[in-house]
Amino acid sequence: MNKGKAFPILLIAVVVVLLVSLLPLNSISNGKLKDFSLWSDLFPSENIAQKGADTYVDPDLENLMNDSTEVHHDETVKKGSESVESHPHPEINTAPVPERPVRNEGEPVKIEDFSGNNLARFRAAMAHRDSRPVRIAILGDSYIEGDIFSQNIREKLQEQYGGHGVGYLPVSSELTGFRQSIRQSCSGWKKHDFRKDGKQYKTLSGVYHTPKGNGTTTVSGSKKMPHAAQWNNTEFLFVAPSATTVTFTDAEGNATVYDVEPSEEVQSQKISGETGEITMSTPSTDLIALGLYLNDNNGIVVDNMSIRGYSGIKHSEISTELARQMRRFVDYDLIILEYGINALTSDNNNYAYYTRAMEKAISRIRDAYPNADILVLGIGDRGEKIGAEVHSMKSAPYMVEQQREMAHRLGVAFWDTREAMGGEDAVVDWVNKRYVNKDYIHLSFTGGDQLASLFVLSLNDLLND
C-alpha cells in the first residue's frame, strides 16, 4: 500500500469509530451491543470502576456469584468444629414489606425499624449514657476504610451526648498515614484475616494479630477530631495460651508491666486515667491480640471495623463463644452494617443469593451480640459509564430494595444511604462536590462528614420520636 494513502485511511477509520461510539448502541440493539466512548477510553478523565468496588474480591462472595444454587435461609453453615443454623422460619418475617415512609422535602430519610421497637435496646442504653458507655459498632468494607463516615458519626454523637476516644483499634494497621482520627505506629505484628486464616478466632472485627517477636503499638490522639485527642480508658483484649507480660507505657515513659496467666479464655488489661498517648507491647509470640479499645467511662463510643473488599457474608461464621467472652469486657448496643457495594455488578438485578447469605451473617451477629439492635445501611449510590457519560449504576436500586426486604424479613432496622445522598445520579453530584472520589464509589473525608450529618439527623429523628 502507498504510504501516502495509509494515513488518510487510518484517519477516516478513527473518525468512523469515534462517530459510532457516540451512538446509543445499547438501546438501538435492544441490549445486544454495549455503549462505548472512544474518547473516554483513550483519554480517561475519571477512574470509574466497572465491576467490583475493590481490586480484592471476597472469595466467599466470588464463590456465591459463581454458584447458581440459591442460598436458602434454613441451610446449615459449617464452621470448623461448630455448625449453626440461621434463625428458624418462625423468626423470619413473611408478611408483605410495608410501603416506604412518606418523606416530605427537607425531611431526613427515616430509619425504618422493622422490629417495630424503634431501636429499643439502643434507646434504653442511651438513657444510661451518663453512667456507662453506649457502644456502637460500624462494620463495613472500604467505603468506611480509614474511619471515613464513622469518625464523623462518632464526633457528632460525642459532641451531643458525651464521650471521648475512637473505640476499637486493631493493634496493627496499614492505614496509619491515612486515618485522621488517630495516629498509630506499630511493629512486630502478623495480621490474620478471617476470610483466609481466621481459624477459631473469628471475631466481629474480622481480624486478629499475633506478635512476631516483640509486638508493639503506639497510639496518639488526633486534634483533627476534638473528642479524639484524649480518652480515659485504654483496654487490651487478648487470648494468652502461655504465660507472658503486657506492658503499657505512657507519654512520659512510665511503664506498667502486667503478668498474664495462661488461659484459653479472653482476658483484658486496662489502664485508667486521662491520656492522649500510650504504648502497648508484649513479647509473647503465641498471644492472640483481639484489639485495643480507647474510650471514656460514659457517653458514646463508635467502633470502626472495616475490611477492604469484604462482602459481609463471612460473619455467618463468627464464634458466638468468643463473642460471649469478649462481651464481658466490650458489648454493643447498636451494630451498623455497611455492606453490599462489592456485590454490585452492572449486569445483575437479582441479589437474592447475596441477601440470603447476609441473612445468615446477620442472624449470627444477632446470636453473638443479643443485647444489640442491628441496623442495615443500604448501599451508597455508585456510578458507571453509560456511553460517554457517568450515571448511577442501573442495578443499584435493585440492591437497595433487596437489602430493605432482607431487613424486613429479619426484623432489623434499615436506612437508605442512596436515598439520603439524593437518589438517582446522586453520585455524579457528589463527585462534582468532591464528596465522592473520581472512582464514583468511595467517599472522600468531606463526603463522609456530609453523609454522617445526614445519618445522625435520621438517628436523632428516631430517638426523639
What does the DSSP assignment read for 128-139? Answer: TTTTS-EEEEEE
pTM here is 0.84
Set of cell numbers at residue 41: 477510553
pLDDT, residue 64, reads: 82
Per-residue model confidence (pLDDT) at position 90: 39
d(C-alpha 272, C-alpha 172), whole Å: 22
Question: Which strand (E) or helix (H) includes residue 364?
Answer: helix 352-368
Q: Residue 343, Cβ neighbours under 10 Å: how many?
A: 25
Run of H or E including 449 = helix 445-463
Cell of 425: 445520579
- pLDDT at residue 22, rounded to an integer: 53
Which set of grid coordinates corresponds to residue 465? 420520636
Q: What is the model's pLDDT at position 105? A: 83
Topology classification of domain 166-296: Jelly Rolls (2.60.120)
Contacts of 358 (CB under 8 A, 6+ apart): 312, 313, 339, 340, 403, 406
The phi and psi torsions of 192 (rounded to 5 degrees) equal -125, 120
Q: Which residues of 96-116 are buried (b: 16+ CB within 10 A; e: fewer)?
A: eeeeeeeeeeeebbbbbbbbe
Region(s) of the chain under CATH 2.60.120.1360: 166-296
**pLDDT value for 5:** 63
Where exactly does CATH 3.40.50.1110 map onto the chain? 47-163+298-465
d(CA 451, CA 75): 36
In angstroms, the CA 425 to CA 444 distance is 17
Domain 47-163+298-465 class in CATH: alpha beta
User: Mean pLDDT, 10 residues at a time, over the chain (465 residues)?
Assistant: 63 65 46 40 43 61 69 35 37 84 89 94 96 97 96 98 97 90 95 82 96 94 94 97 96 95 97 96 95 97 96 96 98 98 91 96 97 98 93 96 97 98 97 96 97 98 90
Residue with cell 424486613: 408
- Of 344, 363, 357, the closest CA to residue 412 belongs to 363
- In angstroms, rounded to a whole number, what is the distance separating the alpha carbons of residues 435 and 73? 37
- pLDDT at position 18, please? 60
The CA distances from residue 320 to 81, 205, 315, 366, 368, in Å, are 13, 13, 11, 10, 5
